[in-house]
A and B are shown apart, each in its own frame.
Chain A
Amino acid sequence: MMKKLRDFLFVAAVALSVWELLVRMTGVPPYILPGPLQVASAAIEYAEMIGEHTLVTLSEVLVGLFLGTVLGAGTSLFLVVSGYARRLLLPLMVFSQTVPIFALAPLLTLWLGYGMGSKIAMTLLIIYFPVASTFYDGLRNTPRGYLDLALTMNASESRTLFRIQVPAALPSLASGLRLAAVYAPIGAVIGEWVGASRGLGYLMLLANGRVKIDLMFAALFALAALTIVLHTLINQAGRRLTRWSVGD
């Protein structure tokens, strides 16, 4: 872990130095590309404002993640227990993926307004399919031997589902959630771009409009940091929950 962090810091330091050098050597104006030192200075100057907007985006992401996970996992369970639902819903789910979710953002804003609702809906929609599809795959691929054993033990279907199939599918769900952690902030920010008065997406647009590119970059870094922290936390939780699958 420490080694990984050290490597990351080293690569980041090199990249930032190259960036600063390029800006200075080419003389590109700061309203086109500010150097990292200028971005850092903007980040400090506007720290409070960036913090407030980050909190808004984080709230949208967390609520969207929670609802998307509940809905995605619920759909997978429903698909596994009901053949009728599989016939009816699976083609629909696949078809829904042919519609670019970004294109729905204006519609969601129209229907749900400029508040958090439309951003949460956008986040939910963007993570729903990865969560549902990975968990469903995991539930369908329970090792046959486990199911045979349950059958010879006269297990009820619901207990087989919740005591065997669901735990066996947790590593797949964890993969889906890791993807969701990366996609969720994208969903929220796209929602904010279409129409919002708060959030990092809004702040980026605002800074861009006022040619404060250093602030825009600072907001972008805040978004990246939020995504990395979220991904790391979900990754750690997933590993903790499925520690048994390591070495099995």
Chain B
Amino acid sequence: MKGRDLVPQLRIRGGFRHGDAILFEGLDLVLEAGQWTCLLGPSGVGKSTLLRLVAGLDTGGEFDGSIESTNSRPLREQVAYMAQSDLLLPWLNVRANVMLGSTLRGEVRKLERADQLIEEVGLGMHAEKRPHELSGGMRQRAALARTLMEDKPLLLLDEPFSALDARTRSEMQELAFEVLMDRTVMLVTHDPSEAARIAHRVYLLTETGLHQPDVTGRPPIRAFDDPEALNIQSRLFSALRL
């Protein structure tokens, strides 16, 4: 990453509406610099919309508020995005997919760096393969390497592990946490156990607005059978059911 001191804290304040329907209002959410912030909530409350707002993507609605960053760089230059679907281009092999960003910007492609990241996510033997030759977990690993290749201080992850089986999901959480260390991460998820394992801070977005349940304890990443993680998980479940 170009200068760790550039890792920003982000504050999102305001409301959002689709036509006459208000999705959320009076929101005040802080993404602490260098930490994982999970946005947890049921489907349809606007978690992904909020993430798309930060990513500068089309939301189909109207945001009335502000997104402030503690550094002066334009937000668009700081953001890397990872979605639930791996979004690997099926006509490119893993290596070319990992280098997609530089290809799309017309920059010199850093082959060595790409191969190093592919190795880091455990796909060293599969760099020449096309996405349809990989398993779901491997594809998400490739997507993670592509996200890392962007080398951005702010990571926006929209339920990237939700389509994976339980074991692969747990492995991917650990891998992502390790390789995204010290970056500001916003993770949208509907899974309390994922938030309990991986989050420094959790925001709960429900139909009644934004809440911040207490998840204080040992810093993440927490083992899946850690009593503290299980305790946080049950508190998040309770908060979700309120």
Question: Could you list which residues of chain A lie within 8 angstroms of chain B, going by C-beta atoms?
Answer: 143, 145-146, 148-156, 159-160, 163-164, 167-168, 170, 242, 244-248
Contacts and interface: CB of A to CB of B under 8 A. Distances in A.
19 contacts: A145-B85, A145-B87, A146-B89, A148-B55, A151-B56, A152-B76, A152-B156, A153-B100, A153-B101, A153-B105, A154-B77, A155-B101, A156-B106, A159-B103, A159-B104, A168-B89, A170-B91, A244-B131, A248-B132
A245 B55 contact: no
In the A-B complex, the 10 residue pairs with the smallest Cβ-Cβ separation, listed nearest first, are A155-B104, A152-B81, A153-B101, A244-B90, A248-B90, A244-B91, A247-B132, A145-B87, A159-B104, A167-B91
A154 B91 contact: no
A150 B83 contact: no
A245 B91 CA distance: 8
B79 interface: yes
Given A145-B87, A148-B57, A148-B83, A155 B105 contact: yes
A152 B51 CA distance: 12
B149 to A, nearest CB: 10
Interface string B123-162: 0000000111000000000000000001000001000000
A174 B115 CA distance: 33
Nearest to A152: B81
Most central of A146, A153, A168, A242 by chain B CB within 10 Å: A153
Interface string B41-64: 000000000001001111000000
A152 B80 contact: yes
A155 to B, nearest CB: 3
Interface string B82-124: 0101010111000000001101111000000000000000000
Interface string B149-186: 01000001000000000000000000000000000000
Nearest to A164: B89
Nearest to B86: A145
A154 B76 contact: yes
A246 B91 CA distance: 10
A146 B101 CA distance: 12
Nearest to A242: B91
A9 to B, nearest CB: 34
B186 to A, nearest CB: 13
Given A152-B156, A246-B132, 10 more contacts: A145-B85, A148-B55, A148-B58, A150-B104, A151-B56, A152-B80, A156-B104, A159-B104, A242-B91, A244-B90
Contact of B106 (A145, A146, A159, A170): A159
B76 A149 contact: no
Given A159-B103, A163-B104, A151 B57 contact: yes
Contacts of B56: 151-152
A148 B58 CA distance: 8
A155 B76 CA distance: 11
A245 to B, nearest CB: 7
A244 B132 contact: yes
A58 to B, nearest CB: 31
Contacts of B132: 244, 246-248
Contacts of A246: 132
Contacts of B80: 152
B105 A148 contact: no
Contacts of B130: 244
A48 to B, nearest CB: 45
A248 B104 contact: no
A245 B106 contact: no
Contacts of A153: 100-101, 104-105, 150
A152 B55 contact: yes
Contacts of A247: 132
Contacts of A149: 81, 83, 87, 100
A247 B87 CA distance: 15
B105 to A, nearest CB: 6
A8 B156 CA distance: 55
A168 B105 CA distance: 19
B90 A245 contact: yes
A247 B91 CA distance: 12
Nearest to A154: B105
